[in-house]
Structure 1
Amino acid sequence: MEKVRKIIHVDMDAFYASVEQMDNPALRGKPLAVGGNRERGVVAAASYEARRYGVRSAMSGKMAALKCPQLIFVKPRFERYKELSHQIRNIFYDFTDLVEPLSLDEAFLDVTQNKVNNPSATLIAQEIRKRIKEEIGLNASAGISYNKFLAKTASDINKPNGQAVILPKDAEIFLENLPIERFFGIGKVTAEKMKALGIHNGKDLKQFSLQFLTKRFGKSGLHFYNIVRGIHLSEVQPNRIRKSLSAENTFSKDLGSYQEWVMALEGVFEELQERIRRSGIKGRTVTLKIKYHDFTQQTRSRTFEQYPDTAKIWETVLELLRQEELNSAVRLFGIGLSNLNVEEERVHFGKQLLIDFE
């Protein structure tokens, strides 16, 4: 009998906005944006009431206000979000020590073997969501499957306040029908590039060879080749300590002009912004990574005494780009943050064993 893992991905529903609505009853049921304002700044999170008007995270406050004139803006309270994130994580640890937090509002859990001796990952996910609601007052969604990629994808299916399971026997058809922008690791810019190649869903992606995908998308090509076939071998890593946060993109053709470089960097920065928003992470060092057409590589960095906001990060990226003339055409740009505001919170050790999936 085939042996597979049981992985749960728990994702809090509109976490920052939901916390604000929980703590301030006057905000409940109203369109709410955390971060930004009507004139400037960027939305860090939007309530579901605001999302109905098209308000999204990483959108400018000005655009959000145009889409939803009655939108209420509140300042983010990251210490409060962190406090509740710790409480949620402690609930996870009642079920398993194999917990890998991705950000303040989401985590992977390996419940193949668990502390409650429950063979059903689906029932464990239900119990976790029930406890989060009863003990903290917030809604969570969950996805259950045999690897991290499918579990994360499943957690979006019945949002908000729901869960879904993708069984091994259903994975192939599910992945073939999945829109390309829903694949974990495929951001907005990459999705547009794929659509230009005629790749609109998993079935389309499956038609392309590993050689073609690596040529077009660099090392990410192997990831794309594997995940559409249900292959994602990464284990839940409970003792992982994040040292940096970054985003990068390998371009289908070398870029040789300043205008092309700035446009390309905008796409990379958009991806980094989303990761910053999801993780709540800040960094004092901003790094620009440049890989040229001959595969030589260069990095340029600047370190601040205080944590720069996203506007300052973007300004710094452009300064680093102009710092000195680029040697030749560019095939890859990356933007990274280091010297982060994170510390080791809890380290667990344990071997992840394989048993039958249920």
Structure 2
Amino acid sequence: MSTRLIRKEVDEALLAFVDRQRPGLLAISDELGPMLSALDALLAGGKRLRPAFCYWGWRGAGEGESPGIVNAAASLELLQASALIHDDVMDSSDTRRGQPSAHRRFEAMHQEQGWPGAAVPFGAGAAILLGDLCLAWSGEMYESSALDPDRLRRGRAFYDLMRTEVMAGQYLDMLEGTRDTGTVETALRVVEYKSAKYTIERPLHMGAALAGASDEVIEALSAYGRPLGIAFQLRDDVLGVFGDPAETGKPAGDDLREGKRTVLMALTLERADPAAAAVVRRRLGDPALDAAGVAGLRAIIEETGGLAACEAMIDRYAAEAAAALDAAPLTGEARQALGELTIAATARRV
């Protein structure tokens, strides 16, 4: 099994689960086929970070390789699919992972069929239902993972907490964008609950709890996972503005058009003079922002020192995570794998 992402094993587990679900859904109606096609397209991409951290939480607590832990960990990809589908609806995103977002796929189907009524609400409604289906299936895949019921009960406490936290974080993210009064502190709060805990800390906890880990191990994984999760999301925010579309799967500057109130933007506004701040506030969230507008906002982010400050935060949080990992009471193999995952999560540069 690969030392980092266990992607092949997770992919196989996901494919097998969805294939088992497929006949039952199509038995209701073959008109549900497009739902499965949209899900297949979404699940074909992704970094599989959450299953990897869950798996290495299990291995770090001393357990060996097991199909059961791969299945339980892979269920997190269905939870992630649900979150992405719903997030794209809320952000009116056109693309995800280099292809049309789910709601845009359903809009296009409505238009191609020439159905009466508006395509946009149909697309949004169908996508919301697909996201709900993914959320239901994530729980079903976890429960059917073939792990012992006592193990599943221990892991479920963190699984349930993670689902609550990510939804709370998503609401706080929407609130930040609506009020437009955010600070670095409030943006970091969104990062912690929408991404850091959800992407790294809770999957680690879940894997460790499934393995029966001690409180000492759970606390050590928090000391590592929380700062790494923050660093990961800060890096993602930088890439959302400066990244290569071939790498990010989204158009250049898409986070600017969507008006994301990230730590990067809060750092920029904190440092900008009144004229530059006015430009940022006027252009951030403009869906018609063109290449020149993106370039202009990028220039302000760099010239104010916002980008440099964000990079410094990434380095600081990554160093904190690395130090915590060195001190964590984990198996040597897990420590090495998590060290590689630390680099994979934070070392991407623009």
**Do both share a fold (TM > 0.5)?**
no
Q: Identify, as 1 or 2, the structure richer in strand.
A: 1
Q: Identify, as 1 or 2, the structure richer in helix.
A: 2
Alignment TM-score, normalising by the size of structure 1: 0.28
